[in-house]
Chains A and B, each alone.
Chain A
Amino acid sequence: MSGPRRSRLFDSLVRLRWILPFVALTPFFVLVAAGDMSDGSAESAETGWVPILLAVWFFILVVLAVTVLMLNLSGHDPDAEDAAAELVADPLGRMLLARWLQRSRHHRFVGGLVGFILGVGLIRNGNSVPALIGLMAGIALGGALAEIHLVRGDQTSTRLAELRVRRVAEYVPLVDRLALAAVAVGAAAVVVLAQIIGQSGPTSTWVAAALVVVATVLGMQRLVVQRRRPALNPALAQADDLLRSLAASQGFARPGIALSMILLAQAVVNLGTASATSNGVEQSTVAPVVQLALWLAGAFWYWMSRRERSRSLAVSFATQRQSTSA
Chain B
Amino acid sequence: MSPSLTPPMMQVPDQFEQQRQIDQLIPAPGAPAKRLAVGLILVVGAVAITVLNLGGYLYPQPMADSTFSSTSTWEVDSAGELVAIQVMVPNSSSRSVRVTAAELDAPGLELVEARLRLEPPVDWNTSGTDESTVATPILPTAEESVQLPADLPSGATGYLVLWVRPTKCDGPSPEIKAPWGVASATFDFGGGAFPPFSPTQTIDNPIWGDSESELFGLVDGEFVFGDHPIDFACEILR
Contact = CB atoms under 8 A, between A and B. Distances in A.
Given A92-B21, A151-B24, A280-B177, A73 B39 contact: yes
B177 to A, nearest CB: 5
Nearest to A149: B27
By DSSP majority rule, is chain A's interface helix, strand, loop, or mixed? helix
B124 to A, nearest CB: 15
B13 interface: yes
Given A73-B40, A96-B22, A120 B29 contact: no
A75 B32 contact: yes
By DSSP majority rule, is chain B's interface helix, strand, loop, or mixed? helix
Interface in A238-281: 240, 243, 280
A115 B94 CA distance: 24
Interface in A200-234: 229-230, 232-233
A149 B47 contact: no
Interface residues of A, number: 40
Contacts of A121: 49-51, 53-54
B46 interface: yes
B29 A151 contact: no
Interface stretch (A97-105, A169-177, A185-193, A312-320): A97-105
A246 to B, nearest CB: 12
Contacts of A72: 39
B35 interface: yes
Contacts of B47: 117
Contacts of B42: 110, 114
B49 A74 contact: no
Contacts of B27: 103, 149-151
Interface residues of B, number: 33
B91 to A, nearest CB: 16
B54 A125 contact: no
A114 B46 contact: yes
A192 to B, nearest CB: 27
A99 B26 contact: yes
Contacts of A75: 29, 32, 35-36, 39
Nearest to A147: B26
A229 B18 CA distance: 16
B32 A149 contact: no
Interface string B15-50: 000101111111111001101101110110111011
A118 B33 contact: no
B22 A92 contact: yes
A91 B32 CA distance: 24
A164 interface: no
B22 A152 contact: no
A316 B33 CA distance: 37
A110 B47 CA distance: 13
A232 B21 contact: yes
Interface in A5-64: none
A293 interface: no
B138 interface: no
Contacts of B132: none
B29 to A, nearest CB: 6
Nearest to A111: B42
Contacts of B22: 92, 95-96, 99, 236
Interface in A276-290: 280
Contact of A125 (B33, B35, B51, B67): B67
B65 interface: yes
Contact of A114 (B26, B43, B64): B43
B43 A117 contact: yes
Given A74-B35, A154-B24, 7 more contacts: A75-B35, A92-B21, A100-B26, A114-B42, A118-B50, A121-B54, A149-B26
- Shortest Cβ-Cβ A-B pairs, 8 listed: A73-B39, A121-B50, A74-B36, A121-B53, A117-B46, A74-B32, A75-B35, A114-B46
Interface of B: 13, 18, 20-29, 32-33, 35-36, 38-40, 42-43, 45-47, 49-51, 53-54, 64-65, 67, 177
